[in-house]
Amino acid sequence: MSEARINRISNELGTGGPIVSGITTFSGLNYFVPPKGTTAERPSNCPSGSIRFNTDSAHLEYFDGLQWLEMEAFNVEIGISTAAAPASAGTGHRGLFAGGQGNTPALGTVVNIIEYVTISSLGNSIDFGDLQSGHNEFTPMGCSSSTRGIFSGGGNPVRSNVIDFVTFSSTGDAQDFGDLTVARSEFVAFSSATRGIAAGGSPGPSVTNVIDYITIASTGNAQDFGDVTSTAKEQLSGSCSSTRGVFGGGSNGVSAVNVIEYITISTQGNSVNFGTLSTQKGQMGSCSNSTRAIFAGGSSLTNVIEFLTIATTGNTQDFGDLTLDRTNATGAFSSPTRGVFGGGVNPGPGRINIIDYITIASTGNAQDFGDLTGAGGVRAYMGGTSNGHGGL
Q: What is the pLDDT of residue 22?
A: 58
Q: In which domain, by residue range, is 67 found? A: 1-71
Q: What is the pLDDT of residue 350?
A: 83
Q: What DSSP character marks residue 185?
A: B
* 196 in a structural domain: yes
Strand order in the sheet with 292-296: 285-288, 292-296, 302-309, 317-326
Give how far the C-alpha of residue 172 lies from the chain's centroid of Cα atoms, to the nearest Å. Answer: 17
Q: Compute the residue count for the chain.
A: 392
Same domain, 110 and 226: yes
Model's pTM, two decimal places? 0.81
Domain count, the chain: 2
Same domain, 24 and 124: no
Q: In degrees rounded to 5, what are phi and psi of residue 158?
A: -70, 140
Q: What is the pLDDT of residue 86?
A: 45
Q: What is the pLDDT of residue 231?
A: 94
* 173 in a structural domain: yes
- Do residues 310 and 292 lie in contact, with contact meaning Cβ atoms separated by under 8 Å? yes
Same domain, 214 and 309: yes
Mean pLDDT per 10-residue segment, the chain (392 residues):
60 60 64 83 88 77 80 56 45 89 67 92 94 72 95 87 93 94 95 97 94 96 97 95 96 96 97 98 95 94 96 98 88 95 87 95 96 88 94 94
Same domain, 177 and 147: yes
* 166 in a structural domain: yes
* 17 in a structural domain: yes
Same domain, 171 and 30: no
Q: What is the pLDDT of residue 57?
A: 60
Same domain, 35 and 156: no
Residue-wise DSSP of 131-150: PPTTSS-BS-EEEE-SSEEE
Contacts (Cβ under 8 Å, ≥6 apart) of 238: 188, 190, 199, 245, 246, 247, 248, 286, 293
Among 9, 38, 71, the domain boundary falls at 71
Q: What is the pLDDT of residue 83?
A: 40
Q: What is the pLDDT of residue 89?
A: 46
Residue-wise DSSP of 238-256: EEE-SSEEEEE--B-SSSB
- Integer angstrom CA distances of residue 322 from 99, 303, 308, 347, 391: 22, 5, 17, 15, 24
- Do residues 185 and 154 lie in contact, with contact meaning Cβ atoms separated by under 8 Å? yes
- Do residues 351 and 101 lie in contact, with contact meaning Cβ atoms separated by under 8 Å? yes
CA distance 102 to 56: 36
Same domain, 143 and 222: yes
CATH number (domain holding residue 147): 2.120.10.80
Same domain, 193 and 224: yes
Give how far the C-alpha of residue 312 lies from the chain's centroid of Cα atoms, to the nearest Å. Answer: 23
- For 343-373, letters b (16+ CB in 10 Å) and e give bbbbeeeebbbbbbbbebeeeeebeebbbbb
Q: What is the pLDDT of residue 138?
A: 76
Residue-wise DSSP of 189-240: EEE-SSEEEEE--BSSSS-B-EEEEEETTS-S--EEEEE-SS--BBS-EEEE
* 78 in a structural domain: no
- Do residues 79 and 359 lie in contact, with contact meaning Cβ atoms separated by under 8 Å? no
Q: What DSSP character marks residue 337?
A: S
